[in-house]
Structure 1
Amino acid sequence: MKRLESKFEHILFSSRWLMAPVYFGLVLALIVLLVKFGKEVFYLFDHIMTATGGEMIIGVLSLVDIALIMNLLVIIMFSGYENFVSKMEDLHSHQDRPDWMGHIGFSDLKIKLIGSIVAISGIELLKAFMNVDNLTDRHLAWMVGIHITFLASGVLYALMDKISYKSH
């Protein structure tokens, strides 16, 4: 029976590698976002003489939005892989290795995730207010409500994390 239990635990432990394709899928998502970023930059330069100031600001905010999402994906890929699949031991001495790699735990990852979602939501809300004439009051109210919900969730996550940290 002990041998069966040991075999089961080995299979269970090895199953973490099923997550590896998910992280590779996030790499593909980065490529898609990079293409979208390039398209947005091209659009901005193509309309540099005809776009209004508000349109340019919305365009730049879109670039910031994409950059935040890409940064978030990198954090999720690296920390998720290192926390749940395998350590990147061969990269510890690499000169370009980010300082945060290997130090972001699951709790830190949740806080960074909700912080990024709040920032992205705030940018979308700012873009909506820059284009307020084309939106209904109901649409704006939903956007504000969703942003406030994300903001409150972020504060609650941070409080739970602080309470959890104090209890340890």
Structure 2
Amino acid sequence: MSRFESFFEGFIFWSRWVQAPLYSGLIVASFLYLYKFFQELLYMVKYITIWDETEVMIKVLGLVDVSMVMNLVVMVTIGGYSIFTSRIDVDMHEDKPLWLEGLDAGQLKIKLATSLASISGVYLLKTFMNYRNEVQKTSTEGVIIEIVIHMVFIVSALLLSQTEKITHSYHTHGVVDDENGDSGH
């Protein structure tokens, strides 16, 4: 029975590689989004002379939104792969992003929630700018719903960070603190 158990545990451990195609798909999606970014940028170049400042700001916020979504995709791709599939050996690489230092699943969740709140904030700002320009096309109810969604992202990020703080506090104080094996409790 132990041979079967050993094989089955090895199979379960190997199954983490099922995620690898998902990360590859996110990389392909990144290139598609990059295409969309430059398509929007060229559109801006073409019509910049006929837009007023508010319209330009809305278009620039759209580009910022694309950039922030790309940051989110990079975090999910690199962070998810290195946490759940296989460690990426970039410790000595000069361009290693700082956010990868000591990254764990809890920290990744906080970074993702914060990114979602930021993206939601940019989208909300675009909505407010559009609302100011075209009151009849955006209902007050729609803006209120977006504010509520944005606040949910912010509260979620705060709760996740508080949970992570408590978890790290527990790990720091709940493990053996000194050389004698005293945990301090």
- The bucket for the TM-score relative to the shorter chain is over 0.9
CA distance in 1 between partners of 2:87 and 2:167 (Å)? 25
Match of residue 167, structure 1, among 166, 170, 182: 170
Matched, 1:128 2:134: no
RMSD across aligned C-alpha pairs, in angstroms?
Answer: 1.3
Q: Which runs of 5+ in 1 are unaligned?
A: none
The equivalent residue for 2:77 is 77
CA distance in 2 between partners of 1:107 and 1:72 (Å)? 15
Deviates more, 1:112-121 or 1:147-156: 147-156
The equivalent residue for 2:176 is none
**Aligned runs of 1:1-168 on 2, under 5 Å?**
1-89=1-89, 91-101=90-100, 103-132=102-131, 133=135, 134-168=137-171
In the TM superposition, residue 96 of structure 1 has moved relative to its aligned partner by 2.8
Label 1:161 to 1:32 Cα distance change in 2 as closer, same or farther (>3 A): same
Match of 1:47, SS state, is: helix
Deviations along 1:99-157, one digit per CA (max 9) or x if unpaired, are 43353211110011000000000011100110112300111111111111111111111
**Which structure's CA Rg is the greater one?**
2
Whether the aligned pair in 2 keeps the contact of 1:115 and 1:154 (CA below 8 Å) is yes
Aligned residues: 167
Letter in 2 for 1:23: Y
CA distance in 1 between partners of 2:61 and 2:92 (Å)? 36
CA distance in 2 between partners of 1:119 and 1:100 (Å)? 17
Letter in 1 for 2:41: V
Q: Which runs of 5+ in 2 are unaligned?
A: 172-185
Larger RCO, structures 1/2 (Cα 8 Å, 6+ apart): 1
Letter in 2 for 1:115: T
In the TM superposition, residue 98 of structure 1 has moved relative to its aligned partner by 2.4
TM score, norm. by length of structure 1:
0.94
Label 1:10 to 1:24 Cα distance change in 2 as closer, same or farther (>3 A): same
Whether the aligned pair in 2 keeps the contact of 1:118 and 1:147 (CA below 8 Å) is yes
CA distance in 1 between partners of 2:45 and 2:149 (Å)? 32
CA distance in 2 between partners of 1:154 and 1:57 (Å)? 27
CA distance in 2 between partners of 1:147 and 1:37 (Å)? 24
TM score, norm. by length of structure 2:
0.86
